[in-house]
Amino acid sequence: MSGSAGRKGSSPKISSYYKVKDGAVTRLRKNCSRCGKGVYMSDHANRRTCGKCGLTEFSR
30-51 confidence digits (pLDDT tens): 999 999 988 889 999 999 999 9
Residue, of 48 and 6, whose pLDDT is higher: 48
- pLDDT exceeds cutoff 50 at 59: yes
| Confidence (pLDDT) at 4 | 52
Q: Per this entry, what is the length of the chain?
A: 60
Asked if 32 and 40 touch (Cβ cutoff 8 Å), the reply is yes
Q: How far is CA 56 from CA 18, 21, 40, 41, in A?
A: 22, 30, 12, 9
Strand partners of residue 27: 18
d(C-alpha 23, C-alpha 26), whole Å: 10
For the chain, the domains span 30-60
Q: How far apart (Å, rounded) are the C-alpha atoms in residues 23 and 35?
A: 28
